[in-house]
Amino acid sequence: MCKKIDSGIGIFIGIILLNSLSFSQVELTAFGLYNINLFYPNQGDLNIKVESEISTWYSEWQAFFSTVLKQKSGPGFGGRITFNIIPSTGFEAGFEYIMAKTSFAKGLVEDLENRVESLGYLDWLETANRSGGNVIRYYGNVIFNFTSSDSITPYATAGLGLTHFKFQKQVGPEIEGGGSDYDESFHLHYLNSSALTLNGGLGIKTLFSPNFGLRIDARIFICDPDFEQILSLEILGSPIFEDEDSFIQRGIHIDTNLNIGLFARF
């Protein structure tokens, strides 16, 4: 009896596999997107060693050692490859490049520039990048297609991937200065960061022909990155801080994409 049950299960699984292989489709999608930041990390940890030193600094300097990073909205582009194993279910790999710059909080750099000018060191602040960098994502998702007409297919998707935040040296945000009477040099920047990311969304596919169509969807992305601030300070040729881990901005990061693209089905 058990052998018959095992044989029956094997036959059933075999039928499903044969059906999936006979149905299997591959979709290649190229799309444009617009990214909107919904929630940015708002917690932080200040290095005790740095904290004791900056307690005597002007408030315009001290302001940078806090949760000052923000993300701007921005356009982007990407691509996906989807393998539909049965009509209702598929698997997808995606890539996104987002031109959403990270910036300092509004007014922060202007306040510092005004302070430096009031002290008579107008040329001291050599670099004051207000924003820069980009966001890159890779992810793998499951696609659930809903029953619909032949030309229109609504779907839901969920998955896991990586988000890379790029704002290392020379892509901002950063502050650099030097050349006062005290032969000071100062540099503050952030390291690139990556975080495991959950995503989910809803979309719709519309066919123009049996093999080509338009795809529109909206997705939300949730991750928990650490943005590490690095400080260098030298006075009279002696380093006070040398690439010191000065502050870490951390917490939940949530953003959303609306993307529209064309796909080809094989």
In this prediction, residues 228-240 reach a mean pLDDT of: 92
- pLDDT at residue 179 is higher than 90: no
- The confidence band for 184, taking pLDDT boundaries of 50, 70 and 90, is confident
- pLDDT at residue 126 is higher than 50: yes
In a domain, 6, yes or no: no
In a domain, 88, yes or no: yes
Q: How many domains does the chain have?
A: 1
Range of the domain at 119: 31-147+162-265
In this prediction, residues 177-191 reach a mean pLDDT of: 85
Residue 66 DSSP one-character state: S
pLDDT for 23: 56
- The confidence band for 262, taking pLDDT boundaries of 50, 70 and 90, is very high
Token pair in block for residue 73: 């909205």
Higher per-residue confidence, 237 vs 52: 52
Residues 6+ apart with CB under 8 A from 25: 83, 84, 90, 265, 266
Tens digits of residue pLDDT in 4-13? 455 555 544 4
pLDDT for 2: 52
Report the percent of the chain where pLDDT is more than 90: 75
Residue listed under structure tokens 């998955």 = 159
DSSP-derived pairing of the beta strands 152-166 and 134-145: antiparallel
Report the distance separating Cα 182 and Cα 187, nearest Å. 16
pLDDT for 12: 45
Tens digits of residue pLDDT in 28-69? 999 999 999 999 999 999 999 999 999 999 999 999 999 999
In this prediction, residues 1-21 reach a mean pLDDT of: 49
Residue 251 DSSP one-character state: S
Beta bridge partners, 150, equal none
- pLDDT at residue 264 is higher than 50: yes
Beta bridge partners, 98, equal 76, 135
Exposed (0-12), middle (13-18) or buried (19+): which is 231, by Cβ within 10 Å?
A: buried
- The confidence band for 223, taking pLDDT boundaries of 50, 70 and 90, is very high
In this prediction, residues 79-85 reach a mean pLDDT of: 94
Rg (C-alpha) for the chain, rounded Å, is 26
Q: Are 262 and 30 in contact (CB under 8 A)?
A: yes
In a domain, 25, yes or no: no
- Lowest mean per-residue pLDDT among 19-23, 75-79, 104-108, 228-232: 19-23
Across the chain, mean pLDDT equals: 90
In a domain, 16, yes or no: no
Residue 56 DSSP one-character state: T
- The confidence band for 89, taking pLDDT boundaries of 50, 70 and 90, is very high
pLDDT for 147: 75
Report the distance separating Cα 16 and Cα 218, nearest Å. 31
Token pair in block for residue 257: 């994409």
pLDDT for 210: 87
In a domain, 26, yes or no: no
pLDDT for 200: 98
